[in-house]
C-alpha cells in the first residue's frame, strides 16, 4: 500500500469511530460504565493527530502505532484489547499482505485479544465479532463479493450479542439484565471492520 492509501484507511477508521462515539457510549450506558465511545474517541483522536507520521511508515508499523495509541490513550479495557489487536496485526502482517496473510494474522490477533481479556466466544464481547470474521477470512478467496460477505458476517455477529448474557466485562455485573442490548465492544468492532472493507474497496 502507498502512504496515501495507508493514510486514507487509518483516517477512515478513526473518523468513523469518532463520528459514532455517541452511539457507542449510549450502548455502554445501557449495560456498562458508559465510557466506551468517549474512550475510543480519545484513542482515535490521538491517531488522527499522528496521521501524517503514521502514514509515512510501512503498513505493519503504521498498524502497530495505531495499537500503541490505543494502549496509551483509551483509558478503559478497550485500550489494551484493541491495542493488542492492532499490535499483533502489525507484528504478524508483512509489508504487502495477501488475503492469506491477513487471515493468518487475524487468527493470531484473535488469540492475543482473547488472552488479554481472559475471555472467550459467547461471553458478549468484541470476540463474538472477531471470531466469525476470523472464520470467514480463513481459506477465503479474493472474489468481488468477499468484502460484502465479511461486512455482513461482522454486522450479524454484533447483532447476535444482543441476546447474549455478559460473562466478561462490566456488563457481567448485570447478569440477565445484560440480555437485550448489543455489546458496545462488538458494535465498535463491527463498525471498524465495515469501514476497513469499504475503504479498501475504494483504494
Partner 1 sequence: MSKNVGIVIVSHSPKVAEGAADMVRQMVGAEVPVAWTGGNPDGGLGTSVPAIMEAIDKAWSDAGVAILVDLGGAETNSEMAVEMLDGDRQSKVVVCNAPIVEGAVIAAAEAASGAALADVKRTAEELSPQ
Cβ at position 103, least distance to partner 1 in Å: 26
For residue 94, what is its C-alpha cell? 508483512
Other CB atoms closer than 10 Å to residue 53's CB: what's the count? 10
Q: Are 73 and 46 in contact (CB under 8 A)?
A: yes
Cβ at position 169, least distance to partner 1 in Å: 6
Half-sphere exposure of residue 73, counting CA atoms within 13 Å on the CB side?
19
Lookup result for grid cell 472477531: 130
Cβ at position 136, least distance to partner 1 in Å: 27
Question: In angstroms, rounded to a whole number, what is the distance separating the alpha carbons of residues 58 and 130?
Answer: 24
User: Considering beta carbons, is residue 40 or 194 the nearer one to partner 1?
Assistant: 40
Cβ at position 132, least distance to partner 1 in Å: 23
Cβ at position 187, least distance to partner 1 in Å: 18
Half-sphere exposure of residue 120, counting CA atoms within 13 Å on the CB side?
0
User: Considering beta carbons, is residue 84 or 161 the nearer one to partner 1?
Assistant: 84
Question: In angstroms, rounded to a whole number, what is the distance separating the alpha carbons of residues 156 and 22?
Answer: 21
User: Considering beta carbons, is residue 91 or 116 the nearer one to partner 1?
Assistant: 116
Residues 6+ apart with CB under 8 A from 152: none
Cβ at position 46, least distance to partner 1 in Å: 9
Using DSSP, state whether 34 is helix, strand or coil: coil
User: Considering beta carbons, is residue 38 or 197 the nearer one to partner 1?
Assistant: 38
Provide the binding-site residues for partner 1, judged by CB under 8 A: 33, 35, 38-39, 42, 71-81, 83-84, 116-117, 168-170
Lookup result for grid cell 455482513: 152
Question: In angstroms, rounded to a whole number, what is the distance separating the alpha carbons of residues 73 and 194?
Answer: 23
User: Considering beta carbons, is residue 79 or 132 the nearer one to partner 1?
Assistant: 79
User: Considering beta carbons, is residue 117 or 136 the nearer one to partner 1?
Assistant: 117
Amino acid at each position: 500500500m502507498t502512504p496515501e492509501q495507508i493514510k486514507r484507511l487509518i483516517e477512515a477508521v478513526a473518523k468513523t469511530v469518532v463520528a459514532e462515539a455517541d452511539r457507542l457510549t449510549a450502548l455502554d450506558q445501557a449495560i456498562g460504565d458508559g465510557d466506551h465511545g468517549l474512550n475510543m474517541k480519545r484513542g482515535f483522536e490521538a491517531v488522527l493527530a499522528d496521521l501524517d507520521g503514521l502514514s509515512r511508515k510501512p503498513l505493519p508499523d503504521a498498524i502497530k502505532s495505531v495499537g500503541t495509541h490505543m494502549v496509551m490513550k483509551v483509558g478503559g479495557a478497550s485500550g489494551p484489547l484493541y491495542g493488542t489487536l492492532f499490535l499483533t496485526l502489525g507484528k504478524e502482517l508483512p509489508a504487502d499482505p495477501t488475503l492469506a496473510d491477513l487471515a493468518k494474522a487475524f487468527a493470531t490477533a484473535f488469540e492475543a485479544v482473547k488472552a488479554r481479556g481472559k475471555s472467550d466466544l459467547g461471553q458478549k464481547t468484541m470476540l463474538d465479532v472477531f471470531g466469525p470474521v476470523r472464520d470467514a477470512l480463513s481459506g477465503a478467496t479474493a472474489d468481488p463479493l468477499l468484502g460484502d460477505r465479511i461486512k455482513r458476517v461482522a454486522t450479524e455477529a454484533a447483532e447476535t450479542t444482543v441476546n447474549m448474557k455478559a460473562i466478561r466485562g462490566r456488563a457481567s455485573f448485570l447478569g440477565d439484565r445484560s440480555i437485550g442490548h448489543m455489546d458496545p465492544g462488538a458494535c465498535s468492532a463491527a463498525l471498524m471492520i465495515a469501514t476497513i472493507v469499504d475503504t479498501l474497496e475504494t483504494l
